Chains A and B, each alone.
Chain A
Amino acid sequence: MATLEIKDLHVSVATDEGPKEILKGVDLTVKAGETHAIMGPNGSGKSTLSYAVAGHPKYEVTSGSVTLDGVDVLEMSVDERARAGLFLAMQYPVEVPGVSMSNFLRTAATAVRGEAPKLRTWVKEVKAAMGELEIDPSFAERSVNEGFSGGEKKRHEILQLALLNPKIAILDETDSGLDVDALRVVSEGVNRFRASGESGVLLITHYTRILRHITPDFVHVFAGGRIVESGGKELADVLEAEGYVKYAGKQEAASAS
């Protein structure tokens, strides 16, 4: 059973005024079969947590540890982390001009699976996964994320999630910028991924609305670079009603409406 264990994680970013600490001691364990929601006001460091775990070079881990099934993740390069079974669905997926989505998906699947998927079954697999996410087949020949709308980008993040089938998936504000229809499609994709019970999900979000589609087992409130409160899914309802004022020191709604 896969376990992602984050212990006392401190992370800084370089600024013009020198390094600035964003994460100030994060402790979190995500096990296969569990879905954790991390909720928090803007600027609380939620996205920094996801990037730091994925290994973005902009974020420097100053102390603490991250392990996947007991293996030190922080020692791994970005691609090694992905091949070890970590996946980050990004808030702002990057455009890669001139690289077709189909080439990208196959290259990624080959890297993660350790061998090139057999062409015939692969084509079927991709087609089926695209169909489930209501992605038009023509996207396969378009450059990665180039000219995609926000919703199209997010669908493709979940497409990659489905095809790469990681042990632990971090979804960084996957719900942001989605209309009602796209939110449903994307949420269904995440739920299919969860259904096996063999993977863990860390869902980072500002708003509660995605939690009506994807029911979390645990909800953590993130503020000031750490987890300040943890509870079950009922904690989301409290946030929905009260916002983040208690944690952020100012009024900031957690409900979208």
Chain B
Amino acid sequence: MTVSVDKPVVPESSRADWFTSYDVEAFETPSGREEIWRFTPMKRLAGLHTGAAATGSASVEVDAAPEVRVETVERADARIGQAGVPADRVAAQAYSSFTSATVVTVPGETKASKPTTVTVTGPGAGQVAYGHLQVRAELFAEGVVVLDHRGSGVYADNVEFVLADGAKLTVVSIQDWADDAVHVSAHHAKVGRDALLKHIVVTLGGDVVRVSPTAAFAGPGGEVDLTGLYFADAGQHLEHRTFVDHAQPNCTSNVVYKGALQGDDAHTVWIGDVLIRAAAEGTQTYELNRNLVLTDGARADSVPNLEIETGEIAGAGHASATGRFDDEQLFYLQARGIPEDQARRLVVRGFFHELLMKIDVPEVRERLEAAIEAELAAVGA
């Protein structure tokens, strides 16, 4: 396999100095040349970055575990905005534009008896909508929440995860949009003392999908596991920008994103920012991105950024590699009689296997396995 390993880039400005605001007008209209937008095809954003007004709304349906509370609240609700502040203009636009928000709460010292599924259906082809969702896990709560994005249209939203001390929350966010859809989403997680967030992003469908998960620690001892799995076909732009902000001591973060690409102008972007601030002694962090390029004409960008402001850390590492399909693996499997298309499927399935195993919701895992099979069958790979 030919592998290119990107060196971590020393950013021009520290992630610590990034501007954030709830107000869209506080941001300049991006031209696309800015560092945070330079990979994104701005022309295909349907005006999300230039103030497009909502013309429709996305439907939000929640199939909740019996222990879980579901509310629809006004933007004035004091809880809204607790997990983080928008760090780019589209996120601020979504924050300034949503009319009501959905709040899903796993109550304190309660373990939800089944996953809660939030199904977000796009506003429909040619329509623009904004949304806001907050998932709360109270003191020592445990739960699994699946966000299932589907349908057509243009959608920008903020999703908040507020984990109180000792909470354990698993989130699976699936972007399985129709071919026309544009989705720009900012996830903000605030992780309490000794809390654990397992955050899994799966992006399969949509014309342009850009998901920016940010995790920050509110107390020491927290753990964040950011996992991503994406599969880009011809013409798709799938972008993921993870940011883990270590400002508390003795926290752990682990970021693993893997993608496969096939077809002309399939484009994926992974930006992995980790900031270890001076106060974050005893931090342990690792991030990894792997991309498997299945055909010519596809392009994967991969940029890890690791900023360390204290020497007193337990460990920090990163790895990034983008490789062609490994012909030696194919030859080996074929030399055992396995036909080429089946051998390719085995290799790609194997590539994603460790990530799929992290999804401990069997029905979601099975659906994703089937979706990956379908992706592979679509081009006869």
Report which A residues bind B (CB closer than 8 A): 54-57, 77-79, 81-83, 87-88, 90, 93-99, 103-104, 107-108, 111-112, 143-144, 160, 164
Contacts and interface: CB of A to CB of B under 8 A. Distances in A.
A98 B335 contact: no
Interface in B302-356: 326-329, 331-340, 342-343, 346-347, 349-354
A96 B335 contact: no
A99 B337 contact: no
B212 to A, nearest CB: 28
B69 to A, nearest CB: 39
B290 to A, nearest CB: 10
Given A55-B335, A88-B335, A94-B331, 9 more contacts: A79-B343, A82-B338, A90-B335, A93-B332, A95-B329, A97-B353, A108-B336, A111-B336, A111-B338
B350 A160 contact: no
Given A57-B327, A77-B340, A94-B329, A99 B346 contact: yes
Contacts of B328: 94
Residue of B328, B347, B354 most packed against chain A (CB within 10 A): B328
A29 B294 CA distance: 39
A82 B346 contact: no
Interface string B60-72: 0000000000000
B337 A79 contact: yes
Given A90-B332, A93-B332, A99-B346, A108 B354 contact: no
Contact of B334 (A78, A87, A144): A78
A45 to B, nearest CB: 19
A38 B77 CA distance: 81
A87 B336 CA distance: 7
Given A99-B346, A107-B342, A78 B351 contact: no
A90 B340 CA distance: 19
A98 B349 contact: yes
Contacts of A81: 335
B345 to A, nearest CB: 10
Name the prevailing secondary structure of the B interface residues: helix
24 contacts: A57-B327, A79-B334, A79-B336, A82-B337, A93-B332, A94-B331, A94-B332, A95-B329, A96-B329, A96-B332, A96-B333, A96-B346, A97-B350, A97-B353, A98-B351, A103-B346, A107-B342, A108-B333, A108-B337, A111-B337, A111-B338, A111-B339, A111-B342, A112-B336
A97 B258 CA distance: 14
Contacts of A90: 332, 335
Contact of A82 (B336, B342, B350): B336
B350 A99 contact: yes
A83 B337 contact: yes
A58 to B, nearest CB: 8
Interface residues of B, number: 24
B347 A164 contact: no
A164 B349 contact: no
Interface string B215-244: 000000000000000000000000000000
B217 to A, nearest CB: 31
A81 B336 CA distance: 9
Contacts of B334: 55, 77-79, 82
Contacts of A111: 336-339, 342
Nearest to A79: B334
A83 to B, nearest CB: 5
A109 to B, nearest CB: 8
Nearest to A88: B335
Contacts of B329: 94-96
A143 B346 CA distance: 12
B338 A108 contact: yes
Nearest to A51: B331
Contact of A78 (B326, B331, B346, B352): B331
Closest 3 CB pairs of A and B: A98-B350, A98-B353, A82-B337
Contacts of A143: 350
B368 to A, nearest CB: 14
Nearest to A113: B337
Interface string B189-217: 00000000000000000000000000000
Contacts of A104: 333, 336, 346
B366 to A, nearest CB: 16
A95 B351 CA distance: 12
Contact of A79 (B327, B340, B350): B340
Contact of A99 (B326, B331, B340, B349): B349
A145 B329 CA distance: 11
A57 B335 CA distance: 12
A160 B336 contact: yes
Nearest to A94: B332
A77 B352 CA distance: 27
B371 to A, nearest CB: 17
Given A107-B342, A107-B346, A97 B351 contact: yes
Interface in B288-303: none
A54 B346 CA distance: 20
Nearest to B352: A98
Contacts of A164: 336-337
Contacts of A97: 350-351, 353
